[in-house]
Structure 1
Amino acid sequence: MMDSRADRVLFLCACGLITIGVLMSYSLSTYTTLAYRYSDFHFFEREFVSAVFGIMIMWMFAQLAPEKYFLKFGFFLFFLALILMLLMPFLPESLATSAGGAKRWIRLPLISIAPSEFFKIGFIFFLAWSFSRKFVDNHKRTITQEILVILPYIAVFFIAVLLIAVMQNDLGQVILLALTLVVMLIAAGGSSGLFGILLLISSVLAGIFIAISPHRIARLKTWWASAQDSVLTILPERMGAYLRVDNLPEPYQILHAANAIHNGGFFGQGLGNGTIKLGFLSEVHTDMVLAGITEEGGLLGLSVCVGLIITIVWRVLKNANRVQNDVYYLFCIGIAMLVGLSFLMNALGVAGLIPLKGIAVPFLSYGGSSMLANCLALGLVLSISQKAQYQKS
């Protein structure tokens, strides 16, 4: 049985979302299994095993006393993931799997592990531990003093940028970590002035990484091809004419995602009856899973998923507000942002409101590493929730 002080609602909501993700990994992978001549249950079996292990991880961590294990495990996770990411580019092809021209997975006998997924959790722990020592003291500082305090952590973040955005060619994850860092800094007591400076620096860096990458420029053009008609109608005619760009690439993914959402209606086509997965969108069970869920489950099915995500984020934030330990508080804030922002960035991309980032939906998108890392994160929050429940009583 789970420790009676742990947050059962959080655990059950995560299990519900995981169950939906496992079912969709079977239903939405039809075209891929046919194209690569896999068995019908190829993706389902792998996601099911990851889900079982993930739920076991959450349950086991819910039993652990955070004052004994949280700091030790957090440092272990951070440094292990960091070392693995540093080693990734030097691993032979027999030990590393590539995607998008970069090595992203380490091959093990039964599973491939993406160290970046676990590094995000370790990075949030490191920020929580560091910020609790530097900022949460109610001491007023000037902007210059705040910048000097945060410089070492900016250096660590630049290491993350190098490892993820450069070596793994994944700017979306860096943007996600940058937003999480800024929110955690504000929660720790950083000033609005520091927030503005960090936001400006992040925007400039994102612009540079986009400008030097042809495939990111192409992705931005594809997004603008679908968004410009809606955006330019609210601007003055002369400005709209100046900003309009012709001969842009066809927004293939966004258009078919919109068709899937339209076809779903309120109740959906039914599990397994969607058509968007039949070659119209590649890998629907991964980054475009929300479009597939909406087509087969309709607005009702999507609302269930959104409701579970919102409840998970709310429960994590609720636990954050119930603990007196600053490290626990900031860690929970960071995990809530990681889950919530991942979902939001993916959903806005599928809807065509922002460029697609290639960010997985927590617990719903296919991927063993993502599943295990998210379960590990919530497992740590469940461990912390014991203390929160105890202090409330």
Structure 2
Amino acid sequence: MFKKIFKSYDYSLVIAMVLLSLFGLVMIYSASMVTAYDYPSDHFFERQRLHIIGASAVFLFFAMFPYKAMKSNKILGPMVLLSLLCLGALFAFGHIAGNAQSWFKIGPVSLQPSEFVKVSVIIYLAAVYAKKQSYINEFNKGVVPPLFYLFLVSVLIAIQPDYGTAAIIILIASMIIISSGMSLKNLMKLAGIGLMVIAPIFVALQDKILSENRIGRFKAFMDPFAVEQDSGYQITNAFIAIGSGGVNGIGLGKGIQKLGYLPEPHTDFIIAVIAEELGIWGVAFVILLLSYIVLRGIYTGLKCTDPFGSLLAIGISSMIGIQSFINLAGASGIIPLTGVTLPFVSYGGSSLLQLYISMGILVNVSMFVNYEQKYKSNDNEKQVA
């Protein structure tokens, strides 16, 4: 039986994840040579290497842990309570970085709870809507109750303030809700209620939401070269890096923009360094692997006969796809900058650990799907014969 289980794992997902992580590790070393001027030149490389090793152990645990056990109230209840407590504790003990009180910092170790709340929201909504399949179209009973948790975590993250992460969580939740099987009528009703809730919050917080910094980002989006020395500094240098790389790039480690011109070259703007040094081929490598993970995850969700597993796979795939799009689109000027890292490639321990947890769950779902298709169907055919 164990042999059949190990044969059922989708190793292509694991390979894609590992390739992206190792490629990101190389690019972090290249991109952070100058950023790490207060440390040894391999400071961020070494830290990310340790992040990958630690996250790999967690990935293996979740890849082997039966995902169906996660919908148990014994897991869901503590998970929901812990996520709310952690987000609330940030306002008393949180560390401020990037104008947001989003981190717990103990010595050299930093942890961003909102990254793990993304996984919590996916598991919670997938579990609850899977349980409510028999009455999914009863609006007051089947649709609304799970959204109170989504509302609470979104508000707690937004007032840190971290509007980007709050928006990503809402988008991920929207994909799960759309895939849950509820009727178009209820989806439209839910969208209307969402707008009625968001509108007064926007009015109440418009001074914070439309701060000078965020207005500057929209100005930079509309015409970055008009504010090149101000809010457009990041995106104009990203454009220069991307344009300089051309098709083949100028060579690994030979990038110019990372030498004090391009801010955050090893995190938010690592794709610009990749484009400058490795050209279109390097960017295509990243996009193809990310696209494969997202599409393979959606395929797993569509093939899964268990509603919980299906919604889990779709939620995790949506999260990786949404974050990838926002990072790539922001760095290339398609949308305003939001400060979202590139999955698996950018530097960051909390982000990488959350992604490895999510991938472990996704690989576990795919294993169950493959096992049922390969072996249970064969066993049923033998019984019929």
TM-score of the two chains, using structure 2 as the length reference = 0.86
1:325 matched residue in structure 2: 306
Are positions 1:111 and 2:106 aligned together?
no
User: Residue by residue, what CA displacement relative to the aligned partner does 1:3-32 show, whole Å, maximum 9, x if unpaired?
Assistant: 221110001100011111111221111222
- Is 321-330 or 9-18 further displaced after alignment? 321-330
Letter of the 2:297 counterpart = V
Letter of the 2:291 counterpart = I
1:348 corresponds, among 329, 342, 345, to 329
2:268 matched residue in structure 1: 287
Are positions 1:227 and 2:222 aligned together?
yes
Give me the whole-angstrom Cα distance separating, in 2, the residues matched to 1:209 and 1:343. Answer: 31
1:150 matched residue in structure 2: 143
Secondary structure of the structure 1 residue equivalent to 2:7? coil
1:389 matched residue in structure 2: 370
Secondary structure of the structure 1 residue equivalent to 2:34? helix
State whether residues 227 and 233 of structure 2, in contact with CA within 8 Å, keep that contact through their aligned partners in structure 1.
no
Q: 1:52 to 1:111 in 2, by over 3 A?
A: same
1:234 matched residue in structure 2: none
Secondary structure of the structure 1 residue equivalent to 2:40? coil
Give me the whole-angstrom Cα distance separating, in 1, the residues matched to 2:191 and 2:263. Answer: 34
Aligned CA RMSD, in angstroms, stands at 2.9
2:243 matched residue in structure 1: 262
Are positions 1:363 and 2:361 aligned together?
no
- Is 302-311 or 273-282 further displaced after alignment? 273-282
1:84 corresponds, among 64, 83, 86, to 86
Letter of the 1:118 counterpart = F
State whether residues 50 and 371 of structure 1, in contact with CA within 8 Å, keep that contact through their aligned partners in structure 2.
yes
1:192 matched residue in structure 2: 184
Secondary structure of the structure 2 residue equivalent to 1:57? helix
Note the C-alpha offset of 1:221: 4.0
State whether residues 241 and 272 of structure 2, in contact with CA within 8 Å, keep that contact through their aligned partners in structure 1.
yes
Note the C-alpha offset of 1:110: 6.3
Note the C-alpha offset of 1:52: 1.4
State whether residues 158 and 166 of structure 2, in contact with CA within 8 Å, keep that contact through their aligned partners in structure 1.
yes
Letter of the 1:115 counterpart = P
Are positions 1:213 and 2:208 aligned together?
yes
State whether residues 210 and 217 of structure 1, in contact with CA within 8 Å, keep that contact through their aligned partners in structure 2.
no
State whether residues 20 and 286 of structure 2, in contact with CA within 8 Å, keep that contact through their aligned partners in structure 1.
yes
- Is 78-87 or 37-46 further displaced after alignment? 78-87
Secondary structure of the structure 1 residue equivalent to 2:96? strand
1:235 matched residue in structure 2: none
Give me the whole-angstrom Cα distance separating, in 2, the residues matched to 1:213 and 1:113. Answer: 25
The residue correspondences of 1:274-313 to structure 2 (distance < 5 A) are: 274-313=255-294
Give me the whole-angstrom Cα distance separating, in 2, the residues matched to 1:247 and 1:112. Answer: 32
Note the C-alpha offset of 1:83: 2.0
User: Residue by residue, what CA displacement relative to the aligned partner does 1:294-334 show, whole Å, maximum 9, x if unpaired?
Assistant: 11111100000000000111111122122221111111111
2:51 matched residue in structure 1: 50
Give me the whole-angstrom Cα distance separating, in 1, the residues matched to 2:203 and 2:257. Answer: 35
2:377 matched residue in structure 1: none
Secondary structure of the structure 1 residue equivalent to 2:49? helix
- Is 147-156 or 317-326 further displaced after alignment? 147-156
Note the C-alpha offset of 1:70: 6.4
State whether residues 182 and 198 of structure 1, in contact with CA within 8 Å, keep that contact through their aligned partners in structure 2.
no
Letter of the 1:298 counterpart = G
Q: 1:110 to 1:197 in 2, by over 3 A?
A: same
**Gaps (5+ residues) in structure 1?**
231-244
Letter of the 1:32 counterpart = T
Give me the whole-angstrom Cα distance separating, in 2, the residues matched to 1:373 and 1:329. Answer: 19
1:65 matched residue in structure 2: 66
Give me the whole-angstrom Cα distance separating, in 2, the residues matched to 1:64 and 1:140. Answer: 28
Are positions 1:182 and 2:195 aligned together?
no
Size of the alignment, in residue pairs? 367
Q: 1:391 to 1:277 in 2, by over 3 A?
A: same
1:171 matched residue in structure 2: 163
Secondary structure of the structure 2 residue equivalent to 1:3? helix
Percent sequence identity over aligned pairs: 28
Give me the whole-angstrom Cα distance separating, in 1, the residues matched to 2:161 and 2:221. Answer: 24
State whether residues 264 and 297 of structure 1, in contact with CA within 8 Å, keep that contact through their aligned partners in structure 2.
yes
Note the C-alpha offset of 1:250: 5.0
Letter of the 1:169 counterpart = P
State whether residues 136 and 181 of structure 2, in contact with CA within 8 Å, keep that contact through their aligned partners in structure 1.
no
Note the C-alpha offset of 1:179: 1.2
Give me the whole-angstrom Cα distance separating, in 2, the residues matched to 1:291 and 1:130. Answer: 40
